[in-house]
Structure formats: structure tokens, C-alpha cells
């Protein structure tokens, strides 16, 4: 039953996407490890790490598309869930440093010794145990999203109001994590990681494994998201997106469906963050910045909202463009380009890049909401 749904989940585009991601998961690490650096097909560590980062962003975009594309919840605070997952992983990596830190303290991370702390705060307990850290990677963003969503959706906070308070949420978290006495390294965040599960975090093999893991996580995330969308609950989600009041009048508990998908999406974002941190080697409070979270939304919009594949594609394209732009002499113009991207995509490409391609019967797009023409309702 479950296998059948698994196999039926992806559509045509989805199979191509899965194939590409999984091939990359095998091929890139192999090309990196087996070929000598002189070979034209050799993939260097920096390139592989960069693309590993893109894959994490793609998973994050996927999670955002799940709530925005399929349930109409525009979260401007998804960066918070991503960063929380990243911090959970970062805390594990900090504990693994052990006595190799600058102050060589057996239990306390360097920044706590520096701040003259005498013992580990209670919320750092258990993070030296990998399975516990993994649990927290999913649990912390999930619980936050569940509580936040339960409060917000129950009192019918919708539309731009919801967007604003999700933005306020990530802003509040950013202010908090910037503080030293919060216990997460303040300004500098967590960094100087040494190893993960006993493997050196800088080594080629670990990097290759992390890349492969990111790709597999992306593929799994896609399949899960696809299954959610295809399920009966997924149809209700789309109904909520297109006509919330009507769905409620039909007898569905709108808030339960919303909380469910919001929490699931936050967990996915947390996993993306956890894969991101060991690859880039640092997590700091700027990941919580509201601007970051808004940028994530544009990845989804560029690729194509409510397509899942498009979200992942958009994340890769925008971030590839960003890396290319900001390293060259065009750096001062990146923000112009990004700003223009926001404007042009929303006006001329409401369905994103994937919307340009011919497609078979897909669920109605984001603009399929009935009787909405050119009329803006003040409070909807």
C-alpha cells in the first residue's frame, strides 16, 4: 500500500527530478573521490560543497512550497526553522570538539569558557549523543511550528497578517540568538567544528558523504511532499488555499490541516539546516534575519509555486546566480538583480520557470481562486 503510493507519488517531471538528484548523489562524490585533480571530470571540494549547500536550500524551498504553494500560507519566517535545525546540529558538532578547543575544556564549548560559565546549561545536555541531536533537529522546529501554528491558525490569522507575524517570529529569535547570555554563542554563533561521528569534517570523504546525504534528503523530501500533496489531506490543503471559508463551511477543520502541513514543513526545513551546517562549517544568528526568509520565498516563486520541483530548481538557480554575481566584479549589482527578480517574477512569471513549460493536467495554480478578479479585499 505504502510502496504503491510511493511509486505513484512523483509525476513525469518528478521522476526526471528524482533521477537527476539521485544520479548526482552517486556520481558527484565518485567523481570527486576517484578521479585525480588533474582530470577534467574531477569535481573539486569547493564546488561539491557549494552544490551541497544548494541542495540544502532546495530542500528548504521544497518545504516552503509545501505551505505556500499548496496551502496558501506565506511564511516569512521559514529561515527560523532552518536555523533552529542548524543550531541543533551545530550544538552536536560543538560537543564533539571536546578538548581540542582553544581553552581545551572537556565539556564546555570555547565561548562558554570565554564568558566564564562554570557548567553546561541544561538545554545543552544530551547533544553529545548523535541520535538525540538528530531528534532535536526535527523536534525543535516542529514543536515551535506546531505551537505557533496552533495558536495562529486557531484564531484564524491569515494572509498578510500571518506573514507579518512569522516575520516577527524570526526577528525575535534573531535578537535573542544575538545575545551572549542566550547560550548559543551570541554574535559569532557556533563554528570551528572538528568532526562528525568520528570522521574529520574537513576530509574529502566526509564532504562527499554529506553531499550524497543532502541529495538523498532532497529526494526523500520531494517524495514525502509529493505524497502529502497527493493524499486526501493534500486535496483539502489545496481547497483551503483556494477558498478557505468555503472549506470550513464544508465541515473541514481548517486549522488542523494547516497546523499539520506547517509543522511538517518546519521539520523538513530543520533537516535542511542540519545538513547545511556541517558543510558550511558555521551557524550564526544572521541566518534568522527576516531578509533571508523573504529571499527563500523568491526561490520558490522563481522556480514555480506549487510545483515542488520548481521550488527546488528555483533555489538552485537563484543561489547559483548569487554565487556567480557576488564573487565577480558585478557584486554591487547583485541586489539590483535580486530586486528586479522579485518584481519581474511576480508580475510576468506568476507560475515561475516551470510555468513556461507545457504541462499536463496539474492542480489549479495559485491564481485559480474563484471570483477574485482584480478586486482586492481589504482584510482577506
Residue 132 binds another protein, judged by CB under 8 A: no
Answer yes or no: are the C-beta atoms of 75 and 261 closer than 8 Å: no
Answer yes or no: are the C-beta atoms of 179 and 284 closer than 8 Å: no
C-beta atoms surrounding 201 within 10 Å? 17
Residue 143 binds another protein, judged by CB under 8 A: no
> What counts of helices (H) and strands (E) characterise the chain?
14, 4
Residue 370 binds another protein, judged by CB under 8 A: no
Helix (H, G, I), strand (E, B) or coil at 199: strand
Residue 159 binds another protein, judged by CB under 8 A: yes
Q: Residue 37 Cβ, how far from another protein at the closest point, in Å?
A: 38
Single out the residue of 120, 188, 342, 359 in contact with another protein (rule: CB under 8 A): 342
Measuring CA to CA, which residue among 59, 173, 180 is closest to residue 114?
180
In eight-state DSSP terms, residue 121 is: -
Single out the residue of 2, 7, 329, 343 in contact with another protein (rule: CB under 8 A): 343
Q: Within 194-328, where are the H helices? A: 204-230, 232-242, 244-249, 254-280, 290-303, 309-327
- Applying CB under 8 A, the span of 86-94, 253-261, 262-270, 335-343 interacting with another protein comes to 335-343
Give the Cα separation of 6 and 32 in Å (integer). Answer: 31
Single out the residue of 171, 204, 233, 355 in contact with another protein (rule: CB under 8 A): 171
Closest to another protein by CB, 228 or 298? 298
Polymer length in residues for the chain: 380
Q: Backbone phi, then psi, for 200, in 5-degree steps?
A: -65, 130
Residue 329 binds another protein, judged by CB under 8 A: no
Residues 236-265 that bind another protein (CB under 8 A): 245
Give the Cα separation of 94 and 103 in Å (integer). Answer: 13
Q: Residue 246 Cβ, how far from another protein at the closest point, in Å?
A: 12
Residue 4 binds another protein, judged by CB under 8 A: no
Answer yes or no: are the C-beta atoms of 116 and 213 closer than 8 Å: no
Residue 155 binds another protein, judged by CB under 8 A: yes
Closest to another protein by CB, 206 or 259? 259
Residue 90 binds another protein, judged by CB under 8 A: no
Single out the residue of 9, 108, 223, 298 in contact with another protein (rule: CB under 8 A): 298
Single out the residue of 16, 172, 330, 356 in contact with another protein (rule: CB under 8 A): 172
10 Å CB burial of residue 286 (0-12, 13-18, 19+) is: middle
Closest to another protein by CB, 121 or 176? 176
Give the Cα separation of 169 and 303 in Å (integer). Answer: 26
Residue 176 binds another protein, judged by CB under 8 A: yes
Single out the residue of 60, 93, 266, 297 in contact with another protein (rule: CB under 8 A): 297
Give the Cα separation of 339 and 344 in Å (integer). Answer: 9
Q: How many residues bind another protein (CB under 8 A)?
A: 57
Give the Cα separation of 272 and 136 in Å (integer). Answer: 13
Give the Cα separation of 167 and 64 in Å (integer). Answer: 14
Residue 178 binds another protein, judged by CB under 8 A: yes
Residue 341 binds another protein, judged by CB under 8 A: yes
Single out the residue of 218, 268, 294, 296 in contact with another protein (rule: CB under 8 A): 294
Residue 60 binds another protein, judged by CB under 8 A: no
The binding site for another protein (CB under 8 A) comprises 68, 72, 74, 148, 151-152, 154-161, 163-165, 167-169, 171-172, 175-176, 178-179, 245, 290, 294, 297-298, 301, 332-333, 335-336, 338-343, 345-347, 350, 366-367, 372-380
Amino acid at each position: 500500500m505504502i510502496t504503491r503510493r510511493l511509486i505513484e507519488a512523483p509525476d513525469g517531471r518528478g521522476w526526471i527530478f528524482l533521477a537527476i538528484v539521485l544520479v548526482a548523489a552517486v556520481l558527484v562524490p565518485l567523481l570527486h573521490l576517484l578521479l585525480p585533480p588533474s582530470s577534467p571530470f574531477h569535481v573539486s571540494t569547493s564546488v561539491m560543497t557549494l552544490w551541497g549547500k544548494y541542495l540544502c536550500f532546495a530542500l528548504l524551498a521544497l518545504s516552503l512550497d509545501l505551505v505556500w504553494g499548496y496551502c496558501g500560507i506565506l511564511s516569512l519566517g521559514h529561515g527560523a526553522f532552518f536555523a533552529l535545525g542548524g543550531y541543533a546540529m551545530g550544538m552536536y558538532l560543538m560537543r564533539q570538539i571536546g578538548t581540542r578547543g582553544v581553552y581545551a575544556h572537556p565539556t564546555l564549548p570555547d565561548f562558554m569558557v570565554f564568558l566564564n560559565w562554570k557548567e553546561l546549561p541544561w538545554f545543552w545536555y544530551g547533544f553529545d549523543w548523535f541520535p538525540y541531536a538528530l531528534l532535536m533537529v526535527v523536534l525543535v522546529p516542529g514543536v515551535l511550528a506546531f505551537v505557533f501554528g496552533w495558536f495562529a491558525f486557531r484564531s484564524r490569522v491569515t494572509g498578510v497578517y500571518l506573514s507579518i507575524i512569522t516575520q516577527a517570529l524570526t526577528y525575535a529569535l534573531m535578537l535573542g540568538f544575538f545575545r551572549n547570555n542566550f547560550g548559543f554563542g551570541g554574535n559569532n554563533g557556533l563554528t570551528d567544528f572538528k568532526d562528525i561521528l568520528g570522521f574529520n569534517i574537513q576530509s574529502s570523504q566526509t564532504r562527499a558523504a554529506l553531499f550524497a546525504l543532502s541529495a538523498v534528503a532532497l529526494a526523500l523530501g520531494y517524495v514525502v511532499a509529493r505524497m502529502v500533496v497527493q493524499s486526501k489531506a493534500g486535496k483539502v490543503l489545496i481547497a483551503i488555499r483556494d477558498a478557505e471559508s468555503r472549506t470550513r463551511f464544508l465541515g473541514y477543520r481548517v486549522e488542523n490541516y494547516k497546523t499539520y502541513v506547517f509543522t511538517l514543513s518546519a521539520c523538513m526545513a530543520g533537516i535542511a539546516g542540519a545538513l547545511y551546517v556541517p558543510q558550511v562549517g558555521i551557524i550564526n544568528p544572521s541566518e534568522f534575519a527576516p531578509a533571508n526568509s523573504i529571499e527563500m520565498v523568491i526561490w520558490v516563486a522563481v522556480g514555480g509555486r506549487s510545483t515542488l520541483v520548481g521550488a527546488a530548481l528555483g533555489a538552485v538557480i537563484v543561489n547559483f546566480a548569487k554565487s556567480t554575481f557576488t564573487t565577480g566584479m558585478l557584486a554591487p549589482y547583485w541586489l539590483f538583480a535580486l530586486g528586479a527578480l522579485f518584481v519581474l517574477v511576480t508580475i510576468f512569471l506568476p507560475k515561475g520557470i516551470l510555468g513556461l513549460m507545457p504541462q499536463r493536467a496539474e492542480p489549479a495554480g495559485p491564481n485559480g481562486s474563484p471570483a477574485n478578479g482584480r478586486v482586492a479585499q481589504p482584510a482577506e
